[in-house]
């Protein structure tokens, strides 16, 4: 009987480890087993390494790793049937919740949001991951395994993107957009190419590819929907109205100044206060315009396009370090309010709390600034009429 | 995964757990090599369990709690003796019963032992 030396044990253990067996228990089990075989079956005349090379192929078809993989599979898929059941229940529940949510939403009934979100989360975080895991076990072809898994991963990404979008959570667009782009331009061609050459799958592949392309493409088209022409027109009518009334009041004020004694201190003060605040707001608007232009590039001929600066006003205005920030406006308005409350009623004061509380997006900010300008002109007009 | 000179692997697939559990029930503690050798001897070489099938199965039985183990240190080697747990005893019995029932059903289904007395 061959007595195994420590060097030989090290050699065997290293070989087992080098061949991809990582579970320690399994390493020692195999080591002991091989040692037993060598001790019991090797004749004195045979050389150790030669005999070892002859023995190990008994353990596998290709290499040691198979045993490791088989062990992993048995350990992981202990819950195989539980997983299948969860998959079925999660699938049915998510389908029911999604349809229910859609119906509730259509009829503006309460609970729509919750049903849709629950359905989406069940679908993307329970159903699809389980499908991937089970597909990996069941699917025979290696290519198909990967192709299907990539598809399901993209589906998870897109569904999460849609949920985020519905909930107005951040990064919704980037998730939906990257998911859909990869799906339509990457995944569908990949699916098509890997399957079209197999005659038995040919028809199915064509139908599925067209379906996926159509659904993905339509969602993709919805992604960056702009505003309808009607909405943009409505907005421009509104902007024009504000611009025109401001212009007409300013004109009327000019006429009033001409008629009255402009050397009076209060009149001079009113004129200066009005002018300086109006001027400051104009400058702020110009600077905002320039900043957003630098950020978003040339606008597509309407103001709504600049709504893309949703998160821009925070750094560009409220926390801006250069001049023409929110604090500059605030101190100018405070000055103006002190002056106006001396001569008029309290409701003529300008309230900019709404600006600091909500930090609105670019369009709304510009809107409010325009309205402040209109109110200044109105105040001026009222005081001039009063004094005249 | 089986090397079985007499039976096809499809035929034996699914019985490995039954074999191991029942062997442990009869012999107390056993280690891997011992199990393969015992099965080989008992069946006169008709069933030979391969290492590639044995160890994954032992590990999964261990995780399920059907078998426990004792370790014996032999220098640098560690020998794992597997033993049946209480739960394993029940599983072994259930598996043996199930298999016996299966054999009877197959006998009847394949008409290997025509029923006596009805002729």
Q: Which domains does chain B have, with CATH numbers?
A: 9-110 (1.10.10.10)
Q: At what angle do helices A24-41 and B32-42 cross, to 10 degrees?
A: 50
Q: Is the pLDDT of residue B4 over 50?
A: no
The neighbouring-strand residues paired with B48 are B3
The predicted model gives A216-240 an average pLDDT of 82
pLDDT in tens, A4-41: 888 889 999 998 888 888 888 888 889 999 988 888 88
Measure in Å the smallest separation between the Cα of A357 and chain B Cα atoms.
59
- pLDDT the model gives residue B10: 67
The predicted model gives B20-32 an average pLDDT of 92
Q: Is the pLDDT of residue B2 over 60?
A: no
Helix or strand (DSSP H, E) at A258: helix A229-259
* Confidence band for A220, pLDDT divided at 50, 70 and 90: confident
**CA distance linking residue A104 with residue A98, whole number of Å:** 10
Numbered residues of chain A with Cβ closer than 8 Å to any chain B Cβ: 6, 9-10, 13, 23, 25-26, 28-33, 35-37, 58-61, 66-67, 70-71, 73-75, 78
CB atoms within 10 A of CB A286: 11
* CA distances in angstroms from A332 to A321, A323, A325, A340, A372, listed in the order given: 17, 13, 11, 12, 12
Q: Is the pLDDT of residue A295 over 90?
A: no
* Residues B20 and B57 sit within 8 Å (Cβ to Cβ): yes
Cα nearest neighbour of B69 on chain A: A25
**CA distance linking residue A133 with residue A83, whole number of Å:** 9
Lowest mean per-residue pLDDT among A63-72, A108-117, A287-296, B90-99? A287-296
**CA distance linking residue A202 with residue A186, whole number of Å:** 19
- For residue B95, give every residue at least 6 positions away whose Cβ sits within 8 Å of its Cβ, in sequence order, or none: B17, B18, B21, B22
Residue pairs between chains A and B whose CB atoms are closer than 8 Å: 71
In chain B, what residues touch A30 (CB-CB under 8 Å)? Answer: 51, 55
* CA distances in angstroms from B48 to A38, A69, A102, B2, B44, listed in the order given: 18, 21, 60, 7, 9
Maximal CA-CA distance, chain B: 67
- pLDDT the model gives residue A239: 85
CB atoms within 10 A of CB A357: 8
Q: Is the pLDDT of residue A299 over 60?
A: no
How buried is B109 (Cβ within 10 angstroms: 0-12 exposed, 13-18 middle, 19+ buried)?
Answer: exposed
**CA distance linking residue A76 with residue B60, whole number of Å:** 9
Instruction: Classify the phi-psi angles of A169: left when phi > 0, otherwise alpha if psi is within -120 to 50, otherwise beta.
Output: beta
Measure in Å the smallest separation between the Cα of B101 and chain A Cα atoms.
23
* Confidence band for A353, pLDDT divided at 50, 70 and 90: confident
B32 touches chain A (CB under 8 A): yes
In chain A, what residues touch B80 (CB-CB under 8 Å)? Answer: 25, 28-29, 32
ipTM of the predicted assembly exceeds 0.95: no
Interface test with A, best of B52, B68, B91 (most A CBs within 10 A): B52
CB contact under 8 A, A67 and B56: yes
Interface test with B, best of A14, A33, A58, A82 (most B CBs within 10 A): A33
- pLDDT the model gives residue B35: 93
Q: Is the pLDDT of residue A355 over 80?
A: no
Tokens standing for B113?
Answer: 């032992």
Q: Return the closest-CA partner of residue B29 out of B92, B79, B97.
A: B79
* Confidence band for A341, pLDDT divided at 50, 70 and 90: confident
CB contact under 8 A, A74 and B76: no
- pLDDT the model gives residue A325: 80
* CA distances in angstroms from A298 to A292, A293, A294, A295, listed in the order given: 9, 6, 8, 9
CB contact under 8 A, A10 and B76: yes
Q: Is the pLDDT of residue B16 over 60?
A: yes
B53 touches chain A (CB under 8 A): yes
Taking only residues 76 to 95 of chain B, the set having a beta carbon closer than 8 angstroms to any beta carbon of chain A reads 76-80
Higher pLDDT, A199 or A225: A199
State the virtual CA torsion across A349, A355, A357, A361 in degrees, nearest 10.
Answer: 160
Higher pLDDT, B8 or A41: A41
Measure in Å the smallest separation between the Cα of A210 and chain B Cα atoms.
41
**CA distance linking residue A44 with residue A47, whole number of Å:** 8
B68 touches chain A (CB under 8 A): no
Q: Is the pLDDT of residue A98 over 70?
A: yes
Q: In a 3-state reduction of DSSP, which class is residue B49? A: coil
């Amino acid at each position: 009987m061959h007595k195994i030396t420590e060097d030989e044990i090290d050699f065997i253990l290293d070989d087992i480890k080098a061949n991809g067996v990582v579970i320690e228990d399994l390493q020692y089990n195999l080591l002991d087993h091989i040692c037993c075989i060598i001790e019991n079956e090797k004749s004195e005349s045979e050389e150790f390494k030669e005999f070892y090379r002859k023995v190990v192929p008994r353990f596998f078809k290709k290499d040691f790793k198979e045993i490791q993989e088989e062990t992993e599979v048995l350990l992981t898929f202990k819950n195989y049937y539980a997983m299948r059941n969860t998959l079925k229940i999660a699938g049915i529940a998510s389908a029911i919740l999604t349809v229910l949510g859609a119906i509730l939403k259509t009829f503006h009934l309460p609970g729509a949001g919750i049903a849709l979100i629950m359905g989406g989360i069940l679908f993307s975080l329970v159903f699809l991951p389980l499908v991937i895991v089970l597909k990996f076990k069941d699917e025979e072809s290696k290519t198909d395994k990967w192709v299907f898994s990539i598809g399901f991963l993209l589906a998870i990404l897109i569904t999460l993107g849609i949920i985020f979008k519905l909930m107005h959570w951040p990064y919704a667009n980037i998730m939906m957009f990257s998911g859909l782009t990869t799906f339509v331009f990457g995944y569908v061609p990949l699916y098509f190419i890997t399957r079209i050459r197999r005659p038995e799958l040919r028809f199915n592949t064509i139908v599925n590819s067209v379906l996926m392309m159509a659904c993905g493409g339509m969602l993709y088209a919805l992604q960056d929907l702009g505003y309808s022409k009607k909405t943009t027109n409505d907005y421009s009518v509104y902007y024009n109205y504000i611009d025109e009334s401001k212009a007409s009041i300013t004109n009327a004020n000019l006429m009033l100044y001409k008629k009255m004694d402009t050397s009076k201190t209060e009149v001079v003060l009113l004129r200066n206060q009005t002018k300086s605040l109006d001027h400051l707001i104009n400058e702020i608007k110009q600077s905002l315009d320039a900043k957003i232009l630098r950020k978003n590039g040339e606008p597509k001929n309407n103001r709504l396009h600049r709504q893309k600066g949703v998160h821009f006003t925070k750094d560009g205005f409220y926390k801006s370090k250069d001049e023409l920030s929110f604090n500059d406006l605030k101190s100018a308005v405070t000055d103006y309010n002190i002056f106006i409350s001396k001569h008029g009623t309290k409701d003529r004061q300008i309230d900019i709390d709404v600006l600091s509380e909500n930090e609105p997006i670019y369009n709304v900010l510009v809107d409010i600034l325009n309205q402040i300008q209109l109110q200044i002109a109105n105040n001026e007009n009222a005081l001039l009429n009063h004094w005249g | 995964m089986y090397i079985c000179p007499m039976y096809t692997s499809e035929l034996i697939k699914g019985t490995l757990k039954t074999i191991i559990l029942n062997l442990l029930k009869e012999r107390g503690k056993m280690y891997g090599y011992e199990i393969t050798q015992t099965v080989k001897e008992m069946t006169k070489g008709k069933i030979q369990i391969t290492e590639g099938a044995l160890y994954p199965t032992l590990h999964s039985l261990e995780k399920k709690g059907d078998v426990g183990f004792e370790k014996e240190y032999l220098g640098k080697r560690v020998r794992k003796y597997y033993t049946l747990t209480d739960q394993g005893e029940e599983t072994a019995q259930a598996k043996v019963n199930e298999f016996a029932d299966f054999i009877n059903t197959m006998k009847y289904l394949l008409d290997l032992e025509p029923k006596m007395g009805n002729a």
